[in-house]
């Protein structure tokens, strides 16, 4: 055997494995090996335990590897690519299981078996099954770059049997193809099957007969894929099922009432789909249920009262639906319930009286609910105790790109987003000044109301539109620039034959907000004097939902990549508008990694000095100095709120609400009062569609809630934004 996990070994794996044909156990996990897995390793035909997880390996797997006969095969957390092969099925020798190896067999390796058993119980997705069936065979391909579709179950026929529990883990890859029904072909020949293919790109439908062909299924996780269609009724026949996660797919239809037949079900998540109808009353009969997550669907009707009978329930997440009626008062008596969220529904009536259960962040966006008096928002409180927290923030200075402009970008003009209001306006607010004109006659009267982004102060009889201004300045070409000032550059443009005007291009970020910009320009438009240049009008081109969606999705994808695909993972720690760049096509780029921190693959958080920018730093990070990827999620949520509202995180307009009030508190307040319309930037709500705008607002608020478990991951944010893809013009 060769056993050296976590030994900080580096370099390439040795190639002289041909001399180790009798080798049975290899564990080189959690090191720094790079390069490819050597082909010579296929000669070790007696190998039954191979663990190379959490290294830096790349390349492809060889189909000659004796994986089907292996008890343990773990290559998770690398950068392996290609397809998962249909491994060669040879004859398998008798080998021990992970737990409870046969008496008298492989005695010298018993300590290592025990070590791996404990490791698997503490770090695998099947840790809750201890004492309820043993994991006999574990094949883990997760956290790589595998592509293509799954061809077969990687277990030899000789290893099948009613005493065998098989765990096939291939989550966090780039697998495509249909729902992995091929893996169920031999399911009923096993005692139990554990299947995790989450966070891939699989599509297709769940087989209608899944309950018949795979009654031995213990755990099924196909979350974060592109599964479509309906949940088949036969799912109720999978009586061995303990955990079912179909979240963040494209499923629709109603929740099958037959789920209540799975009496041992402990975990059920259908979140992030398009499920409609009511919550089945029969779910209240799942006595073993510990987690019920039906959030982010289109469920309607009332919350079933008999859910209060689920005494083992620790998490009930029903937020972002269309539920109505009252919150069952008996939920306050479910003593195990620690995570509860019904925000953004149409619930009404009183709140359950429970100090442990009820937080106002868990009931936001229900305008007909009784007022919540234990408001717990992710905002600093105005008492003196928060002053020390605020002093702990590090306010970032302007980045170099802010100071030097975009001269280094050659032919691609990158516009630096200097503030939230500048994001929404795409750095383009134009004042049209009448400069010189030859003799002409008015041809038509301009109806300013028909072009929403144009306001006319002096009618010169020539149509003024955003497109006209951009076209006649040559897209603000430098050859047409006639001057620069503290508020922007001035360009000449002949907007009609004989009509020459000066165009002043302003950055709205120099004003406190777009509202102030509009107010001040309106005042200037009333001024007339023979020796003053006449202000003809203003052209203000704001972002529509399509552009906002593109920017939000681009940044979400960037953060999801840093959090989930980089090895080691990267926390940005300073997500804010001035660290976001836009090119001419509204492609968004995340910049400035000066405060980024590398996070080991096995780490969930790190303890570090507080860094970031005041207004964007997550509250738990500021108070405990413990940072996780959820801190970036919070910052992203603040930026998303700014995109939608045209306001800054700490906008001066919030001063009337008192110290410590910020954009998160403002969004929560308006949603709670049923005044979501007032949150959106001028013109954005009118452009619509309203449902999609409110959905994006809900997503932004969920990103900024206090509870880390309620905040989505950036992968989930990406998935939700893709589901909300607005129609193209």
Q: Could you list the active site residues? A: 574
DSSP string computed for 74-127: E--SSEE-S--------PPPP---SSSPPTTSSGGGHHHHHHHHHHHHHHSTTG
Q: Which residue shows structure tokens 């062909």?
A: 213
Rounded-to-integer distance, Cα 580 and Cα 553, Å: 12
Instruction: Identify whether the C-beta of residue 368 lies closer than 8 Å to the C-beta of residue 348.
Output: yes
Rounded-to-integer distance, Cα 599 and Cα 132, Å: 34
Known binding residue 715? Answer is: no
Instruction: Identify whether the C-beta of residue 500 lies closer than 8 Å to the C-beta of residue 435.
Output: yes
Rounded-to-integer distance, Cα 361 and Cα 668, Å: 8
Instruction: Identify whether the C-beta of residue 160 lies closer than 8 Å to the C-beta of residue 188.
Output: no
How far, rounded to the nearest angstrom, does the alpha carbon of residue 469 sit from its chain's CA centroid? 38
Pairing relation of β-strands 32-36 and 56-59? parallel
* CB hemisphere CA count around 171 (13 angstroms): 16
Nearest to 110 by CA among 7, 25, 45: 25
Instruction: Identify whether the C-beta of residue 39 lies closer than 8 Å to the C-beta of residue 62.
Output: yes
Instruction: Identify whether the C-beta of residue 190 lies closer than 8 Å to the C-beta of residue 216.
Output: yes
CB count, 10 Å around CB of 285?
16
Rounded-to-integer distance, Cα 626 and Cα 269, Å: 28
Structure tokens at 468: 């006209």
3-state class of 698 per DSSP? helix
Rounded-to-integer distance, Cα 244 and Cα 232, Å: 13
Q: What is the DSSP-derived secondary structure letter of residue 268?
A: E
Instruction: Identify whether the C-beta of residue 543 lies closer than 8 Å to the C-beta of residue 453.
Output: no
Structure tokens at 114: 């025990």
* CB hemisphere CA count around 344 (13 angstroms): 24
Q: What is the DSSP-derived secondary structure letter of residue 632?
A: H
DSSP string computed for 309-377: G-TT--EEE--SSEEEEPPPGGGGG-TT--EEE--SSEEEEPPP--TTT--GGGSTT-TEEPPPSS---
Q: How far is CA 410 from CA 127, 222, 414, 475, 585, in A?
A: 54, 44, 9, 16, 15
Instruction: Identify whether the C-beta of residue 474 lies closer than 8 Å to the C-beta of residue 495.
Output: no
Rounded-to-integer distance, Cα 15 and Cα 41, Å: 8
What is the gyration radius of the CA atoms in the chain, in angstroms?
30
Instruction: Identify whether the C-beta of residue 275 lies closer than 8 Å to the C-beta of residue 295.
Output: no
Rounded-to-integer distance, Cα 401 and Cα 358, Å: 45
Q: What is the DSSP-derived secondary structure letter of residue 278?
A: B
| Residues annotated in a binding site | 504
| Residues annotated in a binding site for ATP | 504
């Amino acid at each position: 055997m060769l056993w050296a996990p976590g030994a900080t070994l580096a370099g390439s794996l040795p190639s002289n494995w041909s001399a180790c044909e009798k080798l049975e156990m290899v564990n080189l996990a959690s090191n720094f090996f790079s390069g490819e897995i050597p082909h010579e390793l296929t000669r070790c035909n007696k190998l039954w335990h191979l663990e190379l997880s959490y290294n830096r390996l790349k390349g492809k797997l060889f189909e000659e590897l004796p994986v089907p006969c292996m008890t343990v095969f773990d290559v998770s957390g690398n950068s392996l690519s290609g397809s998962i092969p249909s491994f060669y099925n040879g004859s398998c020798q008798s080998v021990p299981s992970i737990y409870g190896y046969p008496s008298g067999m492989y005695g010298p390796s018993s300590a290592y078996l025990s070590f791996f058993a404990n490791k698997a119980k503490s770090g695998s997705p099947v840790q809750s099954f201890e004492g309820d069936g043993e994991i006999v065979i574990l094949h883990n391909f997760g956290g790589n770059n595998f592509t293509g579709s799954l061809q077969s179950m990687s277990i030899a026929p000789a290893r099948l049997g009613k005493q065998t529990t098989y765990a096939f883990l291939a989550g966090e890859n780039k697998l495509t193809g249909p729902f992995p029904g091929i893996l169920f072909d031999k399911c009923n020949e096993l005692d139990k099957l554990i299947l995790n293919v989450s966070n891939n790109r699989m599509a297709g439908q769940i087989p209608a007969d899944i309950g018949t062909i795979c009654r031995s299924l213990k755990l099924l996780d196909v979350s974060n894929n592109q599964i479509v269609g309906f949940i088949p009724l036969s799912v109720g026949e999978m009586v061995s099922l303990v955990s079912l996660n179909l979240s963040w797919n494209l499923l629709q239809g109603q929740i099958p009432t037959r789920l209540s037949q799975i009496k041992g079900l402990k975990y059920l998540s259908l979140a992030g789909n398009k499920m409609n109808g009511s919550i089945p009353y029969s779910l209240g009969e799942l006595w073993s249920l510990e987690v019920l997550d039906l959030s982010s669907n289109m469920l309607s009707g009332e919350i079933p009262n008999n859910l209060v009978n689920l005494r083992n329930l620790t998490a009930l997440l029903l937020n972002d639906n269309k539920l109505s009626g009252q919150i069952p008062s008996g939920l306050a008596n479910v003593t195990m319930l620690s995570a509860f969220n019904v925000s953004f529904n149409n619930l009404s009536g009183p709140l359950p009286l429970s100090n442990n259960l009820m937080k106002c962040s868990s009931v936001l966006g229900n305008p007909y609910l009784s007022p919540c008096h234990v408001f717990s928002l992710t905002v600093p409180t105005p008492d003196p105790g928060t002053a020390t927290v605020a002093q702990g923030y590090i306010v970032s200075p302007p980045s170099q790109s802010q100071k030097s402009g975009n001269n280094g970008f050659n032919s691609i003009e990158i516009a630096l987003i200097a503030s939230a209001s500048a994001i929404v306006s795409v750095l383009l607010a134009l004042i049209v000044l009448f400069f010189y004109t030859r003799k002409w006659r008015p041809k038509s009267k301009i109806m300013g109301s028909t072009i929403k982004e144009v306001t006319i102060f002096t009618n010169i009889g020539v149509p003024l539109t955003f497109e006209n201004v951009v076209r006649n300045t040559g897209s603000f070409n430098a050859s047409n620039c006639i001057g620069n000032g503290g508020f922007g550059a001035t360009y000449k443009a002949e907007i009609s034959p004989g009509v020459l005007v000066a165009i002043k291009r302003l950055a709205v970020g120099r004003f406190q907000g777009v509202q102030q910009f509009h107010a001040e320009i309106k005042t200037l438009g009333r001024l007339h004097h023979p020796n003053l240049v006449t202000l003809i009008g203003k052209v203000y081109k704001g972002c529509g939902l399509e552009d906002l969606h593109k920017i939000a999705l681009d940044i979400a994808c960037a953060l999801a990549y840093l959090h989930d695909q980089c090895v080691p993972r990267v926390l940005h720690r300073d997500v804010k508008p001035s660290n976001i760049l836009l090119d001419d096509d509204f492609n968004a780029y995340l910049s400035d990694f000066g405060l980024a921190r590398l996070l080991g693959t096995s780490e969930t958080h790190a303890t570090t000095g507080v860094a970031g920018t005041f207004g964007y730093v997550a509250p738990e990070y500021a108070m405990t100095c413990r940072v996780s990827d959820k801190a970036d999620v919070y910052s992203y949520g603040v930026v998303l709120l700014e995109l939608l509202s045209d306001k800054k995180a700490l906008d001066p307009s919030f001063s009337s609400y008192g110290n410590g009030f910020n954009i998160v508190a403002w969004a929560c307040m308006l949603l709670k009062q049923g005044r979501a319309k007032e949150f959106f930037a001028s013109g954005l709500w009118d452009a619509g569609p309203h449902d999609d705008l409110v959905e994006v607002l809900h997503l932004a608020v969920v990103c900024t809630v206090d509870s880390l478990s309620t905040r989505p991951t950036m992968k989930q944010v990406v998935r939700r934004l893709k589901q909300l893809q607005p129609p193209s013009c």
